[in-house]
Amino acid sequence: MSKIKYIQKLLKAKEVSCVELTKNYLNNIEKQNKALNAYVNVTGGEAIKTAKKVDEKIAAGEELMPLEGIPMSLKDNISTKDIETTCCSKMLKGYYPIYDATVWEILKNQNSVLLGKTNMDEFAMGSSCETSIFGTTLNPHNTDYVAGGSSGGAAASVAGNMAAFGLGSDTGGSIRQPASFCGIVGFKPTYGTVSRYGVVAYASSLDQVGPITDSVEDAAIVYDCLSLYDPKDSTSIGSKTGTCDKLHNSIKGLKIGIADEYFEGINEDIISSIEEAIKVYQDAGAEIVNFEIPKLKAFLPVYFIIACAEASSNLGRFDGIRYGYKTDSYNDVNDMICKNRSEGFGKEVQKRILLGTYALSSGYYDAYYKKAQNLRYSIIQDFKNIFKSCDVIITPSVPVTAFKKGEALTDPIATYMMDICTVPANIAGLPAISVPCGFDKNKMPIGMQIIGNSFEDYKVFNAAYQYEKQTKKSDEISPYPEVKI
């Protein structure tokens, strides 16, 4: 079931060389990236170099590390030394980082094969990649629909067989929503378990990097490699326990929390798919625990205020002086900075910076930012209490399935509402996964979200794996990726 394990098995048995495998993936990118727009930068030359190194190790009979030789993609907000890192913004076009993000450093040291950088909403602000300067990423299941966002490129790279796994980042659902839209697995780890060093910050207290994969086991393998303490990230803790060794644990007696509030206003196809999934759990011996979460409607404004406030502060560094977009003409230094920012940032980014500045400004700070922070504390306490009576919570990943290109940008509130199921995990720093659980009437994928208590990422993986085992066909893996569209 695990693509990563299967690829390594073939590499070790010399049934395929890493160079051949990499070329297959690069060919597939060549064939379908024009239509899907998952990659904004393909790093084929470097990929072949790494693949050769892996083949040499195999020829010498050396052991392979868990992600060695695996072709993968990185979201374009993850810093890659000497490889352009743009956050899909005009502001960072032509920016070449002088250091690697820790997550990439870990993968690089394992000789993971980087195929390229993937598309995203500008500075991760959006739900459909439609704010990217490179244009929208389309859904491999049907190119009339978007792949989601903000890690839409990462999701399409995996769902379109253009990478064995991808790394995305999740501030309010940016890994889980595109994974749900594209019918694959997306995992947001417990806050602090994966380093944020070198990941261009949107909202530092909400951002986490995580894997987007074909299967739950693949996500667990990647997470176990990445969840290390990093002294370069002051909020880093690392993982207290591995997850791969607990995937096979029995879920008999597992307590699954369900709250009606999470199902209000949700598309009916999604509700019936989740209900069926819950039956699968019950058949396997899990118990259902009902709970209430009356403040759920206030979660989105809390999230939005905190995210925008932190963004307005984080994005203050982009002045166009040391790197990034530079205007053509200006009258003085202040004028230069204003023009660099106004011409370099897109409209959605500017709007969020303005809203964040508003929430932090004198006269509004107490009513918005301070109030949101206080509510955040009480939300965290609420979840702590909920997890006293259950092991995991099940919700839909997104209230809707993938929408058509251009449908999201019309109403800002309706767009933000799409994050209602995913933001609670970011507000409270909880681990959460989206796993595929069926299709809607338009044959677009549906995602189920499993949320766990802080540092109990292994329970989330265990519950997701046991569901997947019952429902997913096992003969879907090919080391020779086929063109999907």
Partner 1 sequence: MITKEEVLKIAKLAKLSVNNDEIDMLIEDMSKIIEYADAINTVTEDEDNEVEFYNINNSANAFNEDIVIDSYDRDEILKNREGGEKGYFVIRKRHRG
Interaction with partner 1 in 207-246: which residues (CB under 8 A)? 231, 234-237
**Is 6 or 330 the residue whose CB approaches partner 1 more closely?**
330
3-state class (DSSP) for residue 155: helix
Residues 87-106 interacting with partner 1 (rule: CB under 8 A): 94-96, 98-99
413 binds partner 1 (CB under 8 A): yes
CA dist 44 and 151 (Å) reads: 21
Chosen residue from 358, 365, 471, 484 binding partner 1 by CB under 8 A: 358
265 binds partner 1 (CB under 8 A): no
**Rounded alpha-carbon distances, angstroms, from residue 255 to 241, 278, 282, 288, 290:** 21, 11, 10, 6, 10
Minimum Å gap between C-beta 322 and partner 1 is 6
CA dist 464 and 475 (Å) reads: 19
Chosen residue from 14, 59, 275, 367 binding partner 1 by CB under 8 A: 367
Q: Which stretch binds partner 1 (CB under 8 A): 111-119, 139-147, 365-373, 398-406?
A: 365-373
**Is 221 or 427 the residue whose CB approaches partner 1 more closely?**
427
Residues 452-471 interacting with partner 1 (rule: CB under 8 A): 454
Q: How many residues does the chain have?
A: 485
Q: Do the strands 142-146 and 255-258 form a parallel or antiparallel pair, or are they unpaired?
A: unpaired
| Active-site option among 3, 17, 73, 75 | 75
Q: Which stretch binds partner 1 (CB under 8 A): 21-29, 280-288, 371-379, 475-483?
A: 371-379
Residues 25-54 interacting with partner 1 (rule: CB under 8 A): none
Chosen residue from 30, 272, 317, 354 binding partner 1 by CB under 8 A: 354
Q: Residues 198, 101: contact at Cβ < 8 Å?
A: yes
| Active-site option among 151, 174, 227, 397 | 174
Going by C-alpha positions, the residue among 258, 216, 253, 209 that lies closest to residue 230 is 209
| Active-site option among 17, 112, 132, 150 | 150
Q: Do the strands 208-213 and 138-139 form a parallel or antiparallel pair, or are they unpaired?
A: unpaired
Q: Which stretch binds partner 1 (CB under 8 A): 4-12, 284-292, 331-339, 388-396?
A: 331-339
**Is 150 or 454 the residue whose CB approaches partner 1 more closely?**
454
**Is 428 or 433 the residue whose CB approaches partner 1 more closely?**
428
3-state class (DSSP) for residue 432: strand
Chosen residue from 21, 101, 278, 305 binding partner 1 by CB under 8 A: 305
Residues 55-74 interacting with partner 1 (rule: CB under 8 A): none
321 binds partner 1 (CB under 8 A): yes
Minimum Å gap between C-beta 192 and partner 1 is 5
Dmax over CA atoms of the chain, in Å, equals 71
**363 phi and psi, to 5 degrees?**
100, -25
> Any catalytic annotation for residue 454?
no
CA dist 162 and 33 (Å) reads: 8
Please give the distance of CA 296 from its chain centroid, rounded to a whole number: 22
336 binds partner 1 (CB under 8 A): yes
The one-character DSSP state at 370 is I
3-state class (DSSP) for residue 152: helix
**Is 315 or 450 the residue whose CB approaches partner 1 more closely?**
315
> Any catalytic annotation for residue 234?
no
Minimum Å gap between C-beta 90 and partner 1 is 14
Chosen residue from 249, 267, 350, 471 binding partner 1 by CB under 8 A: 350
Residues 176-205 interacting with partner 1 (rule: CB under 8 A): 191-192, 205
CA dist 272 and 277 (Å) reads: 9
CA dist 263 and 361 (Å) reads: 36
Chosen residue from 52, 357, 409, 484 binding partner 1 by CB under 8 A: 357
Distance spanning both ends of the chain, measured CA to CA: 23
Please give the distance of CA 410 from its chain centroid, rounded to a whole number: 24
Q: How many CA atoms lie within 13 A of 472 on its CB side?
A: 22
> Any catalytic annotation for residue 215?
no
| R_g over Cα of the chain | 21
**Is 285 or 316 the residue whose CB approaches partner 1 more closely?**
316
CA dist 183 and 186 (Å) reads: 10
Which are the catalytic amino acids? 75, 150, 174
